[in-house]
Structure 1
């Protein structure tokens, strides 16, 4: 007959053995994460960092050289700054997008494409429907609105060559400011 197993030490006779096994490992992980700078603790919450900057001038010049439709660089008032941009396409037709931050921090984007309005609008948001016309210094814009949470979109055709859209989280004054700046800009040289 085999000999009975020796008695388990008192420390390992209940559920505390798992705690005492894991506690040193967790403590080592916390110390390493703190030392290596992989985590931080801010009781008051995160702080707002500086928004990214974007060279809209260089991007729009490159778009003007590459795209077959005229590209405009809006000259926005003091306090506005470009923070993002990129290219996309609308059913194979190129689309240029540059995002701006207003002085109040509202994001606004300028879209420029050779695609017609009826193809550009669903590219932005399929839930958008026409709300009505907007007149900005004699230029006719069509304002679109969508479902709850959808950003409005204003669209016009400039020079019968480029469809311009303005969208974002700004108020009507922000839309008018951006629309006015785009329509006043002359096309960049190819």
Structure 2
């Protein structure tokens, strides 16, 4: 009667080497990366983070600003952004240093995010709310269609632009390009004015 070879036995832990552990980690990393790639939840963006517009909510900015305007303490402007831009948020907040702001967030067609704030707060209060404690370095003036904006360095390297139009302060920030900033700055200044109920 012939004897059957016994199945290979798992080696004891003491027999495992560092090479075995590294090999197991490499296999595990490949499995995780493969699963993330197949699910589409992971992408490589050498120019910085982007946002997939199709996965975010869409907000009707004119309707939301019209809803907020009667209770506002300052006139609101409705920016007429270009075709392909999507709005994903509108909200109102009171700042710790005084004053109120209304914010609207936009996504450009290439997935860059910009936020427009309008308020009756001081420029210093709006900047402080945006960047927190510490000095804010001004980069200088920017002219957009005859309107003077002041550019600052914000958090994470994102620029901040501020201006005042008819007594209302405006602040722009986000990950957009300078062309995107200019587009939103012009659209904000030229926007339809919604007067508050006083």
TM normalised by structure 1 equals: 0.72
Mapped pair 1:153 → 2:167: no
Mapped pair 1:112 → 2:106: no
Instruction: Report if aligned partners of 2:74, 2:195 keep a CA contact under 8 Å in 1.
Output: no
State the secondary structure of the residue aligned to 1:140. strand
Which residue in 2 is equivalent to 1:44? 38
State the secondary structure of the residue aligned to 2:106. strand
In 2, the alpha carbon distance for the partners of 1:104 and 1:89 equals 31
Instruction: Report if aligned partners of 2:92, 2:100 keep a CA contact under 8 Å in 1.
Output: yes
State the secondary structure of the residue aligned to 1:142. strand
In 1, the alpha carbon distance for the partners of 2:37 and 2:195 equals 52
In 2, the alpha carbon distance for the partners of 1:104 and 1:79 equals 9
Instruction: Report if aligned partners of 2:66, 2:194 keep a CA contact under 8 Å in 1.
Output: yes
State the secondary structure of the residue aligned to 1:187. strand
In 2, the alpha carbon distance for the partners of 1:131 and 1:171 equals 16
In 2, the alpha carbon distance for the partners of 1:129 and 1:86 equals 27
Mapped pair 1:174 → 2:168: no
Residues 146 and 68 of structure 1: is their aligned pair in 2 closer, same or farther, counting only changes over 3 Å?
closer
Instruction: Report if aligned partners of 2:150, 2:163 keep a CA contact under 8 Å in 1.
Output: yes
Deviations 1:126-170 (A, max 9, x none): 3532111000011000001135x14211000001x2100111100
Q: How does 1:12-91 map to 2 (within 5 A)?
A: 44-47=38-41, 49-90=54-95, 91=97
Q: Quick one: which of 125, 146, 156 aligns to 1:138? A: 146
Give the count of matched residue pairs.
149
State the secondary structure of the residue aligned to 2:185. helix
Which residue in 2 is equivalent to 1:4? none
- Structure (1 or 2) with the larger CA radius of gyration: 1
Q: Structure 1: which 5+ residue stretches go unaligned?
A: 1-40
What is the CA-CA distance between 1:44 and the residue it aligns to? 1.4
What is the CA-CA distance between 1:64 and the residue it aligns to? 1.4
In 2, the alpha carbon distance for the partners of 1:106 and 1:51 equals 13
What is the CA-CA distance between 1:43 and the residue it aligns to? 5.8
Between 1:132-141 and 1:80-89, the stretch displaced more is: 80-89
Q: Please report the RMSD computed on the Cα atoms of aligned residues, expressed in angstroms.
A: 2.0
